[in-house]
């Protein structure tokens, strides 16, 4: 009897189809994704039935932590062809910082803040900021990891934009200085969307007591920015 | 990785061109793609946040006679609050829902007729945010729904028309006509519509205030405002708690 020959089949699997699928999926995710914003505190926004989406451009959003600390993040014009890119996020952030610091120095001549070009450059790359003017120099000269660590420490008194019940716009508090600087940054699209109420978004956690958020709302009212939006999540069925 | 196999089995004519089958191994490519997909999936936010747009009244002092006083019969004041434990954490009910409470009164607060330091005519009531149970409104939603019945009935009729695309076969035009008509109904002064004044106590959670604003959207109430809580409101609530417990 002859030996039975076992045919050796090649174990190669054709991966081309699989690769096609993965590339498609990858393209989908790359095109639809907006990256998660790095924020000093994670807040769970309350839910509502409203279906108006948050704009991604020309927006000043105010983040209120449950401890009452206030952070700001600014987004400029997304279209680079508008105003030769002068209204884009980074130039506008530089402009706002320069304006705000100049205003602060005018009001507090004894405690002047001096920033270098490099500090301004660092600031323009920050998505969210929130330190008192006096800590700005120190904060902007830290390394990025140190900045993140510093700003996430909610028990530190030197974190968060100071805010109080000030109603006197001749002597604005730091939050009011920032908001005015944002309003008069020179980006007309940002200004008009702030006027319409789309350009200001307040974000706070579900459980934050009203007394804390009220500070922010009250300050906006004092600044005559009466129209603004409140960030919420989409309501689910069981709510 | 890429292999070129000769597929002749030795039976072909000499001189004929050798057929080559080319295999490229895509496994590493797939590996890399999967990694990238995982990265994008983890780093993206699919759902964009929604916003509620509100307008607050100006802070400037308005002369008493210039004030647009709400008609007493139309006014309803909601005072939202949240029950918290000693450490300030939000208390939750048996179903795990946060205990957001609404105190409300219709018209003016009634402070008359004080008997033994208690307000005999206290017109404040207590309700909860319960939402819908199927098609039935519960809690504060029912009260607001009943107050705004005329508007809601008209809008419900409009909604049926909108669903059947009676305004226009194009869904975009259909939507915009519906929106415009709904707005007209909401602002129709011939209907009885409530004016809602929303107040929040300092310990009220942000969620409860948004919940109250959301009820305005749900019940198609066009006239509402956020106001600061005053002495009278606290007196009413304290009196209510004194009589009925928390």
Torsion (CA) B148, B150, B154, B159 in degrees, nearest 10: 30
- Cα dihedral B52, B80, A69, A42, rounded to 10, equals -60
Q: Could A15 and B53 be called an inter-chain contact, meaning their C-beta atoms sit closer than 8 Å? A: no
Contact A232, A52 (CB under 8 A): no
Nearest chain B residue (CA) to A226: B56
A46 contacts on B by Cβ (under 8 Å): 206-207, 210-211
CB-CB neighbors (< 8 A) of B34 in chain A: 22
Return d(Cα A59, Cα A189) in angstroms, integer. 10
Q: Check: CB of residue B197 under 8 Å from CB of residue A203.
A: no
Q: Which residue of B has its CA nearest to A19?
A: B30
For residue B74, give the DSSP letter.
T
B236 phi and psi angles, rounded to 5 deg: -60, -45
Check if the interface score ipTM surpasses 0.85. Answer: no
| Tens digits of pLDDT across chain B (246 residues) | 555 555 545 555 566 677 777 777 888 889 999 999 998 888 776 666 778 887 777 766 555 445 556 567 788 888 888 888 877 777 777 777 777 888 888 877 777 767 666 776 677 788 777 777 777 777 788 888 888 888 888 888 888 888 888 777 888 888 888 888 888 888 777 777 888 888 888 888 888 888 888 888 888 888 888 888 888 888 888 888 877 766
Q: Which residues lie across from B200 on neighbouring strands?
A: B80
The span from the CA of A191 to the CA of B104, in Å, is 38
Q: Tens digit of pLDDT per residue, chain A (239 long)?
A: 567 778 777 777 788 888 899 999 999 888 887 776 777 888 888 888 888 888 888 888 899 988 888 999 888 888 878 877 788 888 889 989 999 999 999 988 888 888 888 988 988 888 888 889 888 888 888 888 888 888 888 888 888 888 888 888 888 889 999 999 998 888 888 888 888 888 898 988 888 888 888 888 888 888 888 888 888 887 765 44
Collapsing DSSP to helix, strand or coil, B164 comes out as coil
* pLDDT tens readout for residues B8-38: 455 555 666 777 777 778 888 899 999 999 9
A68: distance to nearest CA of chain B, Å? Answer: 12
Q: Chain B contact for A27, CB < 8 A? A: no
Q: What Cα–Cα distance (Å) separates residue B217 from each residue in A198, A201, B42, B81, B243?
A: 18, 18, 33, 20, 33
Angle at CA of residue A194, ends A189 and A199, nearest 5° = 85
Closest residue of chain A to B82, computed from CA coordinates:
A209
The neighbouring-strand residues paired with B77 are B105, B197
- The partner residue sitting opposite A33, judged by closest CB among B44, B58, B218, is B44
B100-106 vs B75-82, strand pairing mode: antiparallel
**Residue ranges covered by each domain of chain B:** 71-130+194-244
């Amino acid at each position: 009897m002859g030996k039975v020959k076992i045919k050796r089949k090649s174990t190669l699997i054709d991966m081309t189809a699989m690769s096609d699928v993965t590339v498609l999926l990858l393209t989908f995710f790359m095109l639809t994704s907006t990256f998660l914003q790095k924020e000093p505190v994670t807040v769970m926004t309350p839910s509502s039935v409203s279906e108006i989406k948050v704009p991604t451009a020309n927006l000043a959003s105010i983040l209120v932590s449950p401890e009452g600390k206030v952070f700001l993040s600014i987004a400029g014009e997304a279209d680079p062809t508008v105003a030769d890119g002068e209204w884009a996020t980074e130039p506008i952030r530089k402009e706002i910082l320069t304006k705000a610091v100049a205003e602060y120095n005018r009001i507090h001549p004894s405690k002047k803040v001096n920033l270098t070009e490099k500090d301004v450059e660092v600031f323009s790359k920050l998505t969210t900021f929130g330190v008192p003017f006096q800590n700005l120099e120190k904060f902007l000269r830290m390394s990025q990891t140190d900045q993140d660590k510093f700003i996430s420490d909610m028990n530190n008194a030197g974190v968060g934009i100071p805010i109080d019940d000030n109603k006197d716009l001749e002597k604005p508090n730091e939050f009011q200085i920032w908001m005015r600087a944002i309003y008069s940054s020179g980006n007309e699209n940002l200004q008009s969307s702030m006027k319409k109420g789309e350009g200001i978004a307040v974000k706070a956690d579900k459980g934050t007591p009203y007394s804390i958020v009220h500070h922010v709302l009250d300050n906006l009212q004092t600044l005559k920015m009466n129209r603004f939006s409140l960030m919420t999540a989409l309501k689910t069925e069981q709510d | 990785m890429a292999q070129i196999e000769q597929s002749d089995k030795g039976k072909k004519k000499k001189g004929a061109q050798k057929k080559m089958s080319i295999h490229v191994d895509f496994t590493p490519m797939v590996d890399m793609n999967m990694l990238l997909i995982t990265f994008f999936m983890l780093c993206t936010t699919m759902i964009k946040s929604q916003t509620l747009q509100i307008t607050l009244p100006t802070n400037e002092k308005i002369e008493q006679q210039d004030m647009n006083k709400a008609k007493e019969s139309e006014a309803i004041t909601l005072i939202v609050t949240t029950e918290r434990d000693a450490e300030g954490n939000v208390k939750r009910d048996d179903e795990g829902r946060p205990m957001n409470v609404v105190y409300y009164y219709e018209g003016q607060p009634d402070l008359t007729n004080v008997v033994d330091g208690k307000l005999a005519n206290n017109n404040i009531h207590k309700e909860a945010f319960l939402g819908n149970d199927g098609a039935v409104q519960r809690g504060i939603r029912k009260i607001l729904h009943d107050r705004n019945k005329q508007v809601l009935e008209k809008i419900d009729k409009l909604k049926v028309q909108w669903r059947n695309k009676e305004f226009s076969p194009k869904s975009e035009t259909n939507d915009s006509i519906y929106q415009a008509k709904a707005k007209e109904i909401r602002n129709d002064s011939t209907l009885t519509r409530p004016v809602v004044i929303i107040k929040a106590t300092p310990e009220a959670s942000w969620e409860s205030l948004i919940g109250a604003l959301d009820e305005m959207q749900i019940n198609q109430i066009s006239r509402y405002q956020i106001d600061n809580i005053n002495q009278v409101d606290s007196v009413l609530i304290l009196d209510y708690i004194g009589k009925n417990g928390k």
